[in-house]
Structure 1
Amino acid sequence: MEKLCYETLEKLGFDGYLLKEAPERVLQFGEGNFLRAFVDYFIDVLNEKTGFNSKVVLCQPIAPGLADMINEQEGLYTLFLRGFENGQKVNDKRVISCVSRCLNPYTDYESVLACADNPDLRYIACNTTEAGITYDPSCQFTDVPADSYPGKLTQFLYRRFEKFGKEAGKGFVILSCELIDDNGKELEKCVLKYAEQWNLGNEFTAWIKAENIFCSTLVDRIVTGYPRNEAAAICEELGYQDNIIDTGEVFGFWVIEGPDSLKKELPFEEAGLPVIICNDHKPYKQRKVRILNGAHTSFVLGAYLSGQDIVRNCMDDEVICGFMNKTIYDEIIPTLTLPKEELMSFAASVTERFKNPFIDHALLSISLNSTSKWKARVMPSLKSFVEKTGALPKCITASFAFYIAFYNGMNLTEDGLVAARPAGDEYTIKDDKPVLQFFYDHKDDDAAALVHAVCTNAEFWDEDLSEIPGFEAAVAGYLTGIKEKGAYEVMKECLN
């Protein structure tokens, strides 16, 4: 079977959209599954629908990477977006042709820096993981390349400044996709620190601030990557060998914080893409964290204790799905600030995403570090609901009891805290060591004592949750119910 490339597609009579030649207007730090299923997908559609006419040159951020495989296929790869949409099972296929090549900075850094000399280059996209945007003072300007991503970016920007510094409009729109708060602003801070540390001059610093736009963004798409178990069958069906097939869910949403002028530069709306350019991305981030992530954290532990193992199967259970929906629609949405229409539409998409038949999302994998997750994703909704209504949100309060019941393990090992479901099958709780030690120390407490210990642990919550009127007593009641009747019955009671 021939390898995917333009010639192979021509031989096969491929009649889909392809863009073989175009100027490289985008530099992307990151060549992994996520960016190729997200940013590169959006740019590919922009090219087709609006004549954006741009190639993306990739730069692998760490030494072992996909550069050779990408270049062997002339930047081409097949992307499958799969899931549920409007109640229908979807399995969309697209050959992505916006990528021109992939550069390895560890074998040829000059080729990366040379991209800064390209007058057509305008955009820089990046996703170097949450740990990528860090300032490491050990990085030096003379490093080839600098170890940290912000260090590499500073070197790149300085090359651009040397080439076009006197020319207005030759800076970059920088689209940071890392999963940290204010990712664009944090990246800019690091770059400015390097500019100062390396004594690159006031003019360069002024140029960074005046000519470059560091956009904080919110990204939302589950990307499942290379389908190892299906790849051979897929290639047989495609009629070509594709070693970098990518897969993700149908749902995708990107919020870019930037000036209105970007809407014309990046015509996502014209292309009908789910990308919003606005002056504040935070309400959308709050919506995602509270509804999508908050729903996950609220129901998965109770669902697991009820005998479920996979998210998708939970959506087929009237009680568990009902509990999740009541949490979202009655207790989370009323606390949020975006227009109700937008919130309801997003909430509806959550149920479809959780039903995705192509993703076996294990409840146990979602349970990882549930203490910090409950604090970040659910606690704000609890407090906002109490503040707005003066009452306790029934399902959210019960979810705290599910969390405590799930963490009520009996045996502390190197792998984690071992507990057992009512049916007797054991599971291992994974969290920070102090959290596991705390629950182990309180393993023999009765329901009231255990709830009191957890609620008053300010190291977990940065406050005393027992001060929320009626919360501790209500949680203790739910926990007693879980121990006596089971989590499923408690969920059912919450629906009344």
Structure 2
Amino acid sequence: MKQLSKGLIEESKVECFRAEHLPEKVVQFGEGNFLRGFVDWMIHQMNKQQLFNGRVVAIQPTPHGKVVPKLKEQDGLYTFVMRGVEGGQPVDKSEIISSIARGINPYTDWQEVLEVAENPAIEVMFSNTTEAGLIYMQEEYHQEGSPLSFPGKVTAFLYHRYNVFKGADDAGLLIIPCELVEDNGTVLKELVIRIAREWGFPEDFMQWVARANQFCNSLVDRIVTGFPKENSDAFFERLGYQDVLLTVGEPYHLFAVEADSAAAGLLPFTKAGLNVKWGDSTIYRDLKVRLLNGAHTMMFAASYLAGRDTVFEAMRDQTLLKYVEKGMKEEILPYVEVEEQEKQSFAASVLERFHNPYTRHMLTDIGMNAVYKFQVRVIPSLIAYVKHEGALPRVLVFSLAALIIYYRPVRREGDFLIGSRQQGEEHVIRDHDHVIDCFHETWARYGEDPAELAEVLLQQRELWGMNLLTIDGLKEALQQELADILQYGARRSVKQLLMDV
């Protein structure tokens, strides 16, 4: 079976929109599954409709990346398989994406990256280097070599472009980072100016960065599971060719970008029928964090302890489905300050996505760094419910108890804790060092006393961002839920909860 490449396309073995004649108009820091299944897929949709007519140069973000050689092998081509449920109907279709012109390893070919900066046709910069990439790193500037950090690369790239075009305003770029960091565009802009100042670049350059370049805050939402390792041969058989960059994702997508009308004109996503929102992204961030991410965090521990392994399995379990729906519809949704139709529509899409039979979203993956996730995603909903109702939200309190029991260690292995559910399966508890230390010590000391356990953990500001003991009645309610789960197990406790409320 032949591998996907331009040669395979030329043999007319498969259908593909031919884009090699289109100019390079986008520089992209990152070449992983998400960008290929999100931004690059979107650009491909615009190109097919002759709305954008440009291609992407993908820059490898870390020294250990493995995608660029594969892009070269396949002439920038890869397959995106869209699988899921949309409008109540199953979706399962594949398409060869041709929006990437080439990939560059900046650590071996930095001059090639600088040549991209010299190209006047480049108008847009995207990135997704993960949250860990959008941080400050102290490093020296070397004109002949690539900086290690992502903000350092952006600074050096823009500085070279500034010099080549002699500070012309029309050489500035539309810059849209996609990292899941709040105010990501503002953060990146501040990092670039800080690094430029430390590297001794002229003040005029920093003014040009702020004046001529538009750094946009954004929010992205699509589950892209990437290469299907477990059944790749079946996919290859279905496609009729091999594709080492095959990427699988769900139909749902949302891209909220805070930018002006000129940006919307430059990137006509909406004209291509894509779910892109221009303007203030705050409401979409609130919807995503509270309803999608919050529901994930609310459900993961209770569902896992009740014997389920994935989100889809939990949704097929009628008891857990009722638990999730009750938490979302009665304890989270009413107190999200977004227009009613917008949030009802989003909530419906979340439940539809949770029912996607093709997405194997492991509950233990959601459980990584779950304490911080609970702080950001669930506690605001808990507080909002208390404020409006003068009572405690039973499902959200139960979800906190389930999380605490999920973090109960049977032993410690280095930087991790090992937990166990009643069925005997063990799970690895991954979190920040201070979280691991806190739960290890607190369970060891107070594990036999739910009242002490609740009191000690609730007052840990470093865990929850506040002292949760200040919420009236929370200690007593949490104590009871902890005792019930420890005595009767998660499944029976969830059933009882649903009967009580």
TM (norm. structure 2) is: 0.93
Q: Does 1:34 align with 2:58?
A: no
Q: Distance in 2 between matches of 1:314 and 1:184?
A: 36
Q: Distance in 1 between matches of 2:196 and 2:482?
A: 55
Q: Could you tell me which residue of structure 2 aligns to residue 107 of structure 1?
A: 108
Q: Distance in 2 between matches of 1:408 and 1:215?
A: 41
Q: Distance in 2 between matches of 1:186 and 1:173?
A: 15
**Alignment root-mean-square deviation, CA:** 2.0
Q: Could you tell me which residue of structure 2 aligns to residue 463 of structure 1?
A: 466
Aligned-residue offset at 1:179: 1.9
Is 2:167–2:208's contact at 8 Å kept on the other side of the alignment? Answer: no
| One-letter amino acid of the counterpart of residue 297, structure 1 | T
Aligned-residue offset at 1:338: 1.9
Q: Does 1:320 align with 2:323?
A: no
CA deviations on 1:177-210 (whole Å, 9 max, x unpaired) are: 1122211111111111122122221221111111
Q: Could you tell me which residue of structure 2 aligns to residue 368 of structure 1?
A: 368
Q: Could you tell me which residue of structure 1 aligns to residue 339 of structure 2?
A: 339
CA deviations on 1:148-199 (whole Å, 9 max, x unpaired) are: 1211111111121122235332210011011222111111111111221222
Q: Does 1:441 align with 2:441?
A: no
Q: Could you tell me which residue of structure 2 aligns to residue 199 of structure 1?
A: 200
CA deviations on 1:412-460 (whole Å, 9 max, x unpaired) are: 4436444443344444433333233233333433222221222222332
Q: Cα distance 1:421–1:149, how it changes in 2: closer, same or farther (>3 A)?
A: closer
Q: Could you tell me which residue of structure 1 aligns to residue 232 of structure 2?
A: 231
Is 1:410–1:443's contact at 8 Å kept on the other side of the alignment? Answer: no
Q: Distance in 1 between matches of 2:465 and 2:292?
A: 23
Q: Distance in 1 between matches of 2:198 and 2:447?
A: 55
Q: Cα distance 1:146–1:406, how it changes in 2: closer, same or farther (>3 A)?
A: closer
CA deviations on 1:60-99 (whole Å, 9 max, x unpaired) are: 1223332222122221111111122222222121110111
SS at match of 2:448: coil
Q: Distance in 2 between matches of 1:485 and 1:121?
A: 61
Q: Could you tell me which residue of structure 2 aligns to residue 405 of structure 1?
A: 405
Q: Cα distance 1:112–1:481, how it changes in 2: closer, same or farther (>3 A)?
A: same
Q: Distance in 2 between matches of 1:456 and 1:200?
A: 47
SS at match of 1:107: coil
Aligned-residue offset at 1:125: 0.7
Q: Does 1:290 align with 2:290?
A: yes
CA deviations on 1:106-160 (whole Å, 9 max, x unpaired) are: 2221111011221111001111122212222322143501121211111111121
| One-letter amino acid of the counterpart of residue 465, structure 1 | L
Q: Could you tell me which residue of structure 2 aligns to residue 209 of structure 1?
A: 210
Q: Could you tell me which residue of structure 1 aligns to residue 453 of structure 2?
A: 450
Q: Cα distance 1:6–1:426, how it changes in 2: closer, same or farther (>3 A)?
A: closer
Q: Distance in 2 between matches of 1:412 and 1:147?
A: 34
Q: Distance in 2 between matches of 1:266 and 1:94?
A: 21
Q: Distance in 1 between matches of 2:210 and 2:226?
A: 36
Q: Distance in 1 between matches of 2:363 and 2:242?
A: 34
Aligned-residue offset at 1:492: 2.5
Q: Could you tell me which residue of structure 1 aligns to residue 490 of structure 2?
A: 487
How is 1:148-163 mapped onto 2 (pairs within 5 angstroms)?
Answer: 148-163=149-164
Q: Distance in 1 between matches of 2:423 and 2:76?
A: 51
| One-letter amino acid of the counterpart of residue 262, structure 2 | S
**Which is worse superposed, 438-447 or 331-340?**
438-447
**Which is worse superposed, 17-26 or 353-362?**
353-362
| One-letter amino acid of the counterpart of residue 79, structure 2 | T
Is 1:2–1:241's contact at 8 Å kept on the other side of the alignment? Answer: yes
CA deviations on 1:353-400 (whole Å, 9 max, x unpaired) are: 222222222222322222222112111110111112222112111212
Q: Could you tell me which residue of structure 2 aligns to residue 67 of structure 1?
A: 68
Q: Distance in 1 between matches of 2:468 and 2:163?
A: 56
TM (norm. structure 1) is: 0.94
Is 1:417–1:440's contact at 8 Å kept on the other side of the alignment? Answer: no
Q: Could you tell me which residue of structure 2 aligns to residue 178 of structure 1?
A: 179
Aligned-residue offset at 1:476: 1.8
Aligned-residue offset at 1:318: 1.5
Q: Cα distance 1:202–1:348, how it changes in 2: closer, same or farther (>3 A)?
A: same
**Which is worse superposed, 47-56 or 205-214?**
47-56
| One-letter amino acid of the counterpart of residue 422, structure 1 | Q
Q: Does 1:44 align with 2:44?
A: yes
Deviating 4+ runs (over 6 angstroms)? none
Q: Could you tell me which residue of structure 2 aligns to residue 396 of structure 1?
A: 396
**Which is worse superposed, 154-163 or 409-418?**
409-418
**Which is worse superposed, 32-41 or 358-367?**
358-367
Is 1:335–1:381's contact at 8 Å kept on the other side of the alignment? Answer: yes
Aligned residues, how many?
A: 495
Q: Cα distance 1:49–1:388, how it changes in 2: closer, same or farther (>3 A)?
A: farther
| One-letter amino acid of the counterpart of residue 41, structure 2 | Y
Q: Could you tell me which residue of structure 1 aligns to residue 89 of structure 2?
A: 88
Q: Could you tell me which residue of structure 1 aligns to residue 241 of structure 2?
A: 240
| One-letter amino acid of the counterpart of residue 161, structure 1 | Y
| One-letter amino acid of the counterpart of residue 322, structure 1 | K
> Any stretches of 5+ residues in structure 2 without a counterpart?
none
Q: Cα distance 1:143–1:326, how it changes in 2: closer, same or farther (>3 A)?
A: farther
Percent of residue pairs bearing the same amino acid type: 38
